[in-house]
Structure 1
């Protein structure tokens, strides 16, 4: 990782910081997000920053608590009928969208249908759904072809849940982004003040009625104590560090490892791990285009990966902040079953030999990589280095993260704007079982970027889903994780934890896998 000096950051901060009065502190929270918000539709993309934005604006029927148990959120409750083949839901009274219209059953049905076309867990719901029906404006039901006991976990999962939006927006094709941002969550998106790459603004939605139970992850009361929240995009970490230490900003979501010691010396700043389960770093290969439509070439890449190099580059030299995880089931999740050293020997020599035998013909390998995302940018730089060493023709295409997000959707060859490799990270619990994980599913064209296709992988996911007991589930999941690593659906690069940083005057910080804005106050 490139080291930066505080002096440089301070100089930039003095130039770039807006004129500040004292009245903004009473009602405004200033937040530095992990990356630029380039996409506003949390159903269209899996980008974590867009998912975080989704929690401000939208709400969900159910949400999982800190124990990952689903709790009613927009729903008042539900009934399970016909031996589990029919579920009836009832909405809470008084739910409104930000445009003033009531939340209706039709809105929920359209939103869930759209979500189920994009999300892996949602696609499993879609496979067993016979029909949706609105009974009245607050009551609706789904008929299933077979019992699906994990329906509530699907609708309210912590990452990319079934966010509810107005029917007119939810009818947008799942392959296109919605044209407006209208939800029913605790904060409204202020479109006139949105400037991608610079600022995102949210205002408290006075029509939101929080639940009465205590907040826990995405569940419970979502009380908005700030009238206004501003996201300030600061791609240079030194600038961000200067801003929070000077009191210009309240909260920095993800300070990089090399600046953590500096922040630790400031008595006005609190640093803490808000999600102890951590995150996984991964490399994703494009299975549709050469050279990675050849499994033997993919396997050579997998063999070359030395996770320690990736973790030191992106997370620093402190080994307590990261660990090796040569498995597609992260540490701490139910199906982690040990390191797969035989598949990931971390050997340049073995990878060279495998690449030579693979039939690789020198095709260009384009790594799309962000320059403005400290957790991800170094991963692409390490890959460019090690894959060059084993004999690949590497083109490191470095841009901003928003461009990476847009480009990774292309299925064209690299000479027509396509790509070969991208890197990202995700919360370990969010990739912890076959229904949740994008990393192991073999859905092909209907799946996640990279488009790994495997009928066997999908059969194992179904086997896990409908297994009669935990032993059967574990057997299917372990086999699926091994298969996906053998096929190189995804290459794991290590597991790490993050420390967020905020001014000590901020209280009510909630643990979880997203930077939740509710419950926060300034003392």
Structure 2
């Protein structure tokens, strides 16, 4: 495979089976980690936004069960000409928006222009776009200045997503969420629920589901996403049967739910990596030596143990991708990961003329493992000589606050292992953290402009080395994710961003 050499146990998005025999109808309640900060998937990189909005907004392409790009609103993969600089995209016929209007190339061009203007990942593409045009009502052409290997992956991603909307709905901020998806937004009551209902006019692809691709059949009458910020409350909701699916629960609850009748565990192994993102733009973390002092002071082993407890749910690994991925490399890692050496950190702080200014760390208890890692990190950072200001806020506040460089120095988040490294948010100069340097530009540009798949892993190794040299972010390790679902749900496919098309309720 081009993206990966092997699919690790449990991580592959398995293909959905035929759903023709499943009965229509039913209402499900899905407990999420909180209230999404927005329903505009272009302007947010929060996974929570993508989980909800992927049901009513769609992209031109998406990922199949093997993490290969596959058509969604596009009729086929694009025709790529002129040495990788021209992408001609044919659109599917008969696609209608939720307001009843037909999707045309005019809508696609307007949407992609908004994406390049508003989305952090769209901005990665924008500077390299020579022309974006509607060739005819069912054809769009993107002409690049230079070849850009991640383009299709960026157009496929549901995070900072290139969703397609009616050309009349380009308001910023978004006023009316109108998409093409199998479900449509009926009502949002902040801090209570987001109600989606079946899109009766939806035109799915033929055949069965295939990861996020293939047929997306709206079998359920209604999906309600319910914000439940407290992780223990989510666990109790799974055990009591209050919720049909519960996202992101603490791994210590695994033993409680594995043998009960009301719920069963859903495990993705390996899922992804927790990460400390640095504000390289201003404040304490704008200095490379100070950022490296943070890295050298931390015990990743202790943070992972505190966050996940059971070693079956985590592993020490400084490489950005684990073994089994074509992107796995140890470049830059040696002597810089899991060091926990306060003396080395103090020496760097002295070199950086650190004055004792508060190191503001943003975290949230809605992802309990974030908070536990923050607590351990704070103690190690204090030993190294940092003055730590641990700020615990709700997830929506964190995702809003991280957009202002004056308000934070480190924020804690996590990411699934993404099929294309260019999708990693910290690589974008416009993503919170705002990492920008000559070394970053040289390494990332070389990686992104190489279209030969065989050459890209070595170029990714150079990017990882620069990440360790300049420390715009710190990977803590690898972890497995735990969620829970009701046994009465059929057709649920374990996936990093859970989705509920092709899902039914046993009658």
TM-score by length of 2: 0.89
1:308-347 matched pairs, under 5 angstroms: 308-315=301-308, 317-338=309-330, 340-344=333-337, 345-347=339-341
Separation in structure 2 between the aligned mates of residue 518 and residue 493 of structure 1, nearest angstrom: 33
Given the alignment, which residue of 456, 462, 480 partners 1:497?
A: 480
Q: Tell me which residue corresponds to 1:180.
A: 176
Separation in structure 2 between the aligned mates of residue 71 and residue 101 of structure 1, nearest angstrom: 25
Separation in structure 2 between the aligned mates of residue 503 and residue 471 of structure 1, nearest angstrom: 43
CA contact (8 A) 2:121 2:160 kept: no
CA contact (8 A) 2:26 2:504 kept: no
Please say if 1:438 is aligned against 2:437: no
Distance 1:64 1:370, change over 3 A: same
CA contact (8 A) 1:120 1:437 kept: no
Separation in structure 2 between the aligned mates of residue 389 and residue 180 of structure 1, nearest angstrom: 50
Distance 1:407 1:362, change over 3 A: same
CA contact (8 A) 1:37 1:197 kept: no
CA displacement 1:162-211 (0-9 Å, x = unmatched)? 21122233363xxxx322221111111223xx233232111111121111
The structure, 1 or 2, with the larger RCO (C-alpha pairs under 8 Å, 6+ apart) is: 2
SS in 1 for 2:165: coil
**Per-residue deviation, 1:213:** 2.9
**Per-residue deviation, 1:372:** 2.7
Q: Tell me which residue corresponds to 1:484.
A: 467
1:61-100 matched pairs, under 5 angstroms: 61-77=60-76, 78-100=78-100
CA contact (8 A) 1:111 1:170 kept: yes
Please say if 1:197 is aligned against 2:191: yes
Separation in structure 1 between the aligned mates of residue 179 and residue 315 of structure 2, nearest angstrom: 38
SS in 2 for 1:39: coil
Q: Tell me which residue corresponds to 1:18.
A: none
SS in 2 for 1:376: helix
Please say if 1:363 is aligned against 2:342: no
Please say if 1:448 is aligned against 2:431: yes
**Per-residue deviation, 1:281:** 0.3
Q: Tell me which residue corresponds to 1:415.
A: none
Separation in structure 2 between the aligned mates of residue 102 and residue 204 of structure 1, nearest angstrom: 18
Q: Tell me which residue corresponds to 2:10.
A: none
1:6-85 matched pairs, under 5 angstroms: 27-77=26-76, 78-85=78-85
* Bigger shift: residues 376-385 or 327-336: 327-336
CA contact (8 A) 1:158 1:218 kept: no
CA contact (8 A) 2:43 2:160 kept: no
SS in 2 for 1:52: helix
Q: Tell me which residue corresponds to 1:20.
A: none
* Bigger shift: residues 348-357 or 248-257: 348-357
Distance 1:82 1:476, change over 3 A: closer
CA contact (8 A) 1:333 1:429 kept: no
SS in 2 for 1:131: strand
Separation in structure 2 between the aligned mates of residue 419 and residue 509 of structure 1, nearest angstrom: 38
CA contact (8 A) 1:158 1:513 kept: no
Separation in structure 1 between the aligned mates of residue 498 and residue 273 of structure 2, nearest angstrom: 17
Distance 1:139 1:407, change over 3 A: same
TM-score by length of 1: 0.86
Separation in structure 2 between the aligned mates of residue 42 and residue 144 of structure 1, nearest angstrom: 24
SS in 2 for 1:101: coil
**Per-residue deviation, 1:99:** 1.6
Q: Please provide the CA RMSD for this pair.
A: 2.2
Separation in structure 1 between the aligned mates of residue 192 and residue 72 of structure 2, nearest angstrom: 32
1:5-404 matched pairs, under 5 angstroms: 27-77=26-76, 78-117=78-117, 122-148=122-148, 150-157=150-157, 159-170=159-170, 172=172, 177-191=173-187, 194-273=188-267, 275-315=268-308, 317-338=309-330, 340-344=333-337, 345-404=339-398
Q: What stretches of structure 2 of length at least 5 have no aligned partner? A: 1-23
Q: Tell me which residue corresponds to 2:417.
A: 428
Size of the aligned set, in residue pairs, is 480
Distance 1:250 1:386, change over 3 A: same
Q: Tell me which residue corresponds to 2:495.
A: 512
**Per-residue deviation, 1:98:** 1.3
SS in 2 for 1:80: strand
**Per-residue deviation, 1:492:** 0.9
CA contact (8 A) 2:108 2:165 kept: yes
SS in 2 for 1:140: strand
**Per-residue deviation, 1:144:** 2.6
Separation in structure 2 between the aligned mates of residue 146 and residue 289 of structure 1, nearest angstrom: 32
CA contact (8 A) 1:254 1:499 kept: yes
SS in 1 for 2:260: coil
CA displacement 1:23-75 (0-9 Å, x = unmatched)? xx962011111332222111111001001122111011111112121111111
Separation in structure 2 between the aligned mates of residue 122 and residue 221 of structure 1, nearest angstrom: 26
Q: Tell me which residue corresponds to 2:21.
A: none
Please say if 1:460 is aligned against 2:443: yes
